[in-house]
Structure 1
């Protein structure tokens, strides 16, 4: 006949096959080493306080500081002795036998921890029992009550924290997580959003790479993708964010809050990068800029001379607008666009007040004389070549 199994033996059998992380032999060694170092530190501070009390050359403020350190050392030493006393009362041995079986390795550490927790719960110190309950709840993958209501999806218990973490990771992936090289000044490739690259790849995959917006993006211009492409990429970022959230949760020992916090930090960094991302020019804006720079080059050839002196950038902009009828108003080009053309021609940094050093603006009469000289030189070159 099959003998009935007691509740205690059933609980031990169910917990024996689990894999604890904080009750392994390495953790126990680190705990013992920490207690030893804390004891040595307490003894050293006590000796320093005794030496300072006997010495007459120590300042009173230093003596008081050593006294406070000595008090802290005494308390730490008392805690260390109390911990050692508990270890002696409930020792952790790796040769503890459970149900007549001598386990080894992790199972032995687990069985010893269970025995110590059971003995400690019956005494005045119950911290081991509470710790064991928390470890058991984590290993059984029971959701924490602080995580909010949970929903069972495909056999997985997902809480509101999981949903928030998934959303934050999805936002970070959609906009693109900043590269660590950004903090050392490497900004190459940051002018393109990650989702824009995926949209272009999706259009190429569907055979729509010849559309105008896809062609403009491939050539480095700014272009907005149709709404279905953006919606498809945003929807694809959600399952990817879920996978990243679950992987991060696994790496931090099942703490869903840590994963959600890391996802929030990544989303904030991605949004800051999106706000400060350099904007690309569209094809029309690029053509207008090239035309403006060419017109300003012709104007500078007649009106600007590089010699000792200086001229303010606002005077250059006013003279350029008077000379070219197309740029009289601000509809075709703004002052900022013309200033960019000035900086491109000048190939140097303006002064803090906005002056171009070693550049002189000629008057209309001088510019006409200069134009006539240029025409004469051109005619002489044609005559010589003929």
Structure 2
């Protein structure tokens, strides 16, 4: 019989988290603070920021068995096949060692046609990692990037302590569902995690599916967070939600950067434009789901003729971002620009097309992460 040691889950055991919400049964990690969530409680935003992309438990231990009780929230889209359960990645001394999922939990049914959402409660489940190597080791449990996870209890068969902070630099990245990890197969398979692990930095991921729309509260969150390097991947959600026109977008980006600079006077900032997305290169949003093939696809519904009146496309976004960074560099040498098509461009689309017309697949996440590690962390931005 295993002699379990229960350890309270606290913020000291977590990396990549912005806020912890205490519930009657446990803790819900968040990637936006409570005050920001209260300012604009948009359902898509709350779902996205509440999914723990990039968040992991980290601790040294001699344990050879670990159990974690959680209450996951599974997403089900009406009329589509069930989604696979979220994956938990176990890393030992930096190496992916085991993967597992948790059954049970809540079920959120989303009707993409009318926007309705229904949540049904369910019981906690237990994640089990056994037969771990003997002796001292550094353990990380990366939570599912695409499944809201309430942490209930942590047990090990040897004591654990919070991982000591190291001199590794903290990289804070903000972006859309692509940065969040849409279509990635597991939490360390999202492109920011791949880039972070390859470059030896600690990731704080503020990739919010459908919700990277230059929100002022996101800028204030970044301003107030601890970070040694900051990257901002802006544009695709502004287009595919049809959230702004050019007149509003340009000043909004300046304001976003101004706010971040209030708390990070000289921190290197890298502004990334969108990766290639053929449906929106020259056609404005909004995007709309298309189920005609039996699988979810996206199409652009805007009119290219309206670009002249200020409607945004990805090419307009890229031009605006590049011009904005060039202008700011006259007085801010620590801001840089990277065209997102360097991570995924025309040649890549021919061999690795976006499966749903909008989001990259697992292989493309790896490609983007490896390229970002080389292009960004190997450049003057991270010096």
Range into which the TM-score falls when normalised by the shorter chain: under 0.3
Q: TM-score, normalised by structure 2?
A: 0.21
Q: TM-score, normalised by structure 1?
A: 0.21
More helix by share: 1
